[in-house]
Structures are given as structure tokens and as C-alpha cells.
Structure 1
């Protein structure tokens, strides 16, 4: 922990008193030096926070002051007691929702919602979610079910599988078992893992199937992993690499409204794995990096 100068909002920015910050695998990658654009040693991780707006810069509505919000950072810097960010990256928190729940939705909810929206996941289709117990996966499972899809969740234990059933998964695949993925096929695959098994999962797509790669917890797949796209040319498969960094703030605002609506209808819930004080970020790092978390790990700033 270090002391930093008190931040102040520039024109078009807001100052947020942080109550909770999300800790995701993107932060693990940044700390390992594996994430493009992270400044390195001495920089502050964290891409999302929840808290109250303390002040606004010129050109921002004064009415935001005092409001509970989710705030995304244009780079990093969220593991702090106060942050500034662009007003377009501030999202109203659902009424009566705790800060830890707001940030547990946060970036992960936007990634899961937009990924499924782009894939056109529809009622009656079969959706496979890789890494279903992670921060994105638990929400992709719920959002796909809310769309009326039949969801298969890939996870690492029977206990995690039962929790995913409670969130709407119709089928569970334990990736540690030799009989994993026993021949079923899918219209959509949401993949938060990547790694060397991309090829195997691409091969599970039905004709006109869509594969959304939106995470890399398992590392970068080799070029050979994408062989099924050509070998199964007749199936007209599609593969999309998706990062929230490519989405305009106004489109994220639209997605957030969809998320909040599902939350209000009781069709989606935030899944908080564990909260750590800001000073124990190293413990949070070990939990996320070790793949032990189910849902979102959160840092508590106050």
C-alpha cells in the first residue's frame, strides 16, 4: 500500500469514492506482464470499481454527485480509495444493490451480455460455456439461460457444477474427467479459457455455429487450434475474438440497461466469491490466479 496524490476530476470526468473494486484475471495478466498496455511495476491494477460520486468536472451534470455507481477505468488504477474516470464510463447502480454486488456484475456482466448478443444466442439453441465457474462464466450461464437457451457449463468439479445448475445450467461437464465432452454439439460456445483446447471445442459447433473467445485464462492458443474453421468449411462456422476494449461507451450503457433489467426481474444475480481488504490484494491475486474463485473476487476499499 502506498499514498498517492488526491485525484481531482478534469473536464468530462467524475471522482468516485471507491467502496469495492473488482479483481479479475485481467489484473493477474497485468501483474504478470502479459497484458498489453499495462505500464508495469509501480502501476495500479484494477479496471472497475463501485462507489459514490464525490465530485464532477466541468461539463458533467452536478446531479451525479452522491449517486451510487459502477465506474470503469479507461486503463487501470481501480485498486485505490478514490479514482477519476470519464463520465461516459460511469453506470448507475441498481437501486438498493450493495457495492460488492454491483462490481461483481460490472465488467464481467458487460462481457457476457455483449458476447451473447453478438453471437445471437436464441431461445431453443444450445450454448456451451467454458470456464463457467469464473467471473464471466457464471454470468454467461445466467444470461444464456435468460435468453431461453439450453446451457451446458464446463467446470472443474462436481460441487461447482451443482452451483451452476442452480444458476440455470441444464448440463454440467467436469473438465477433469476423461469422458468430458462426450459428443454433444452446440450452436454457441462462449470461451473464457482459450489455451490448447480451443480446437477441441471448435469441433463441437453445429452448422452455422458461433464461437466467442472472450478470455485467456488458459493462455494463447496456437494457430493450429483454428484448424476446424477450414477443415469444417462446409459447416459455415464463425469465430469472434471479443474484448470490451473495442466497445464504445454508449454501447456499454445499452448493455448495462439489459443487465439491470434482468437483475430487476430476478433472472440474473451477482455471484461474489470472496471479499478482501484493499491491503490484502496479494491474497486476492493468489485466489484468482489459482483458479479457486467461483464468481467474482472483490477488494473492499472501505
Structure 2
């Protein structure tokens, strides 16, 4: 089979596609024939520096989320899973490949009518967006500012917050991204690439950027407001302190770390929302498996919108 290997830490060129032995299903495992693999900004950071949550050393195969069909079941696994369309996390490695072996308990069947690419786009970003919305509490009747609103999680937060009754302000860089965010239901769009960008006061900030943009957004919060930082697309985490928040009467919400059971529940919930037509991920870019390096370069360029996928089959 073909797989994309991280041959060293460095630029996108360290990702190299080559023939690799196929995995087999051990006890309690299944082998998934991969159709789509999801990419994340965190993976590009890890590839570049070795810093991140994956605990891998080159040579290794990156990729933490895939969708496909169960092609093999190991001992102790229900044979009825064979042929089932599923999405699954991989434990942090192995996803940039044509086949991957995972724990059978990790796979989530994809509901009928939900395309596999949609399901993969929701696997990580859908559960993150749902978890974030739950963490800040009810938003009906409130103004919600979404930073990085044209990104994978941001596009979903815009939809979810609007459906929950919020007035959504989407912040994104550039006119193209702004048009996308407005089309998803944002009542207002601001271009945070413009110096001095601002908007009227808000009740909630979802911060997927960090850095100075997060600090500017923090300054827009009304007393009693909440801010949740979940990403660092700008290169560093928000440096807003709890003392600063307390002085202004706002709350810095800490995103929860879900256990395995809750992770599965969140993925199932995101897929159910998609099946019902209430949640639609934006898949902005697709690359063949062998062009994983180009996909990483595109994500790092900040020119991408929504989710980026590798097409494996």
C-alpha cells in the first residue's frame, strides 16, 4: 500500500509517499480501507518542529483521523462490521495511508446519506465545535464573535451558534473568507487582516487564533462575557490572564478534555446533525494522498478555507 512518511522534522518536503507493508487486524482491531484522511493545523506544527501531542519520532506516518470501509476484522470483533462505512481516530499516527489498523471500539459508523468526506471533515472539527459551544453555555440572544471563522472549526461554530439563537460575528482574513462566513449565516463579518478592526461589544468569543487578535477580541467582551481559546492559528496562544479577565468581569472558559466515551458521543452527535441537514462542513481543499506535502504547505500559507482533506481512493 501507499503511505506518506514523515522522514524528518522540517518543511513540507519531509513528507514522502512510498510503498509500505499493509497492516493486519490484531485482536480487538479492524483494518480500515481509507478513502479520506483529515489534516489539522496541529499536524503541520508537529511536522515542522516535533512539538505537539503525537509523541512520534521520524520515520513515522502522520494522520489522526480517517474515513473509509472496514476491510478486515481481528479476533473478538463482530464480523458484521465488515463493509461498514466508518470514521475513526487513529491514536495519532497512521492516517496518511491507504489502510490503517485501529481499535474496533474507536470506529464510528457513518449514517446513511452522509458522504464519507463530510464525515471525515466532522470527525475532529465537529466534536471540537460542539464541545466548545457546550463549554460556554447558552448563547441564545447573545452576540458571539468567532475568530478564524473561515477555518474548519470556525465554519462549524458559526452554524452551531446561529442555530442556538446567537447573533454571530465572524472574523476572518480577507474578502473571500468573509463572503464564505456570511454565507454560513453570520450576521456581521469583520476582516481582522485590516488594522484597527473592531465590532460592537460581544458576549462570547471563540478564539481559534491566539496572539494579538485574541487580545483585541478580549477587549470587545461585555462584563459577564466569556472567552474560550481553543487554537493558535496565529502561531501562539492567547496571553490574556485570569487576573485581567477578573478585573473586567469576564470569564476565561477552559475547554474540557473529553474522555473516550464523550469523544465518541460528540462525533455521533456531529454526524447526526449532518444527517439531519443542520450542519455542513466546508471542505475547501482536497489533495491526493501523494501530495500531502502540498496540502501541508497550503494550510501553512493561511490561504485555505474550511477543512483540508487527503483523497486516498
Measure how far apart 1:97 and its partner are: 2.5
Q: Secondary structure at the match of 1:20?
A: strand
Alignment of 1:38-77 (within 5 A): 38-77=55-94
- Unmatched 5+ stretches in structure 2: 1-16
Gaps of 5+ in 1: none
Q: Which among 22, 27, 43 is matched to residue 6 of structure 1?
A: 22
Q: Deviations over 1:12-38 (max 9, x none)?
A: 322100000011212101111231434
Q: How many residues are matched?
A: 296
Is the alpha carbon distance of 1:42 and 1:121 closer, same or farther for their aligned partners in structure 2, counting shifts above 3 Å? Answer: farther
Q: Does 1:253 align with 2:264?
A: yes
1:140 paired residue among 152, 157, 163: 157
Contact 1:53/1:65, CA 8 A, preserved across alignment: yes
1:220, 1:232 → 2: CA distance? 19
Separation of aligned partners in 2, 1:144 and 1:202: 18
Pick from 246, 255, 271: which aligns with 1:233?
A: 246
Shift of the alpha carbon at 1:235? Answer: 4.6
**Aligned mates of 2:193, 2:147 — CA distance in 1:** 13
Query: Given the alignment, which residue of 109, 126, 138 partners 2:143?
Result: 126
Task: Tell me the equivalent position of 1:267.
Answer: 278
CA separation of 1:125/1:12 partners in 2, compared to 1, >3 Å: closer, same or farther?
farther
1:116 alignment partner, one of 103, 123, 133: 133
1:60 and 1:122, CA in 2 relative to 1: closer, same or farther beyond 3 A? farther
Q: Is 1:216 the counterpart of 2:232 in the alignment?
A: yes
Aligned-pair distance for 1:186?
2.0
> Using a 3 Å threshold, how does the CA distance of structure 1 residues 102 and 232 change in structure 2: closer, same or farther?
closer
CA distance in 2, matches of 1:288, 1:61: 38
User: Aligned partners of 1:220 and 1:5: how far apart in 2?
Assistant: 38
Superposed displacement of residue 109, structure 1: 0.8
Residue deviations 1:107-159 (CA, integer Å, cap 9, x gap): 01111111111111421122111111111111111111121111111101122
Deviations 1:258-302 (A, max 9, x none): 222322332211211121111111111111111111111111111
User: Could you tell me the TM-score, scaled by structure 1's length?
Assistant: 0.91
Q: Is residue 300 of structure 2 the alignment partner of residue 289 of structure 1? A: yes
| 1:105 aligned onto 2:122 | yes
> In structure 2, which of residues 202, 207, 212 is the aligned counterpart of residue 191 of structure 1?
207
Q: Is the 8 A contact 2:32 2:100 kept in 1?
A: yes
- Tell me by how many angstroms 1:83 deviates: 0.7
Once the two structures are superposed, what CA deviation does each residue of 1:79-101 show, in whole Å capped at 9, x if it has no partner? 00001122332112121332222
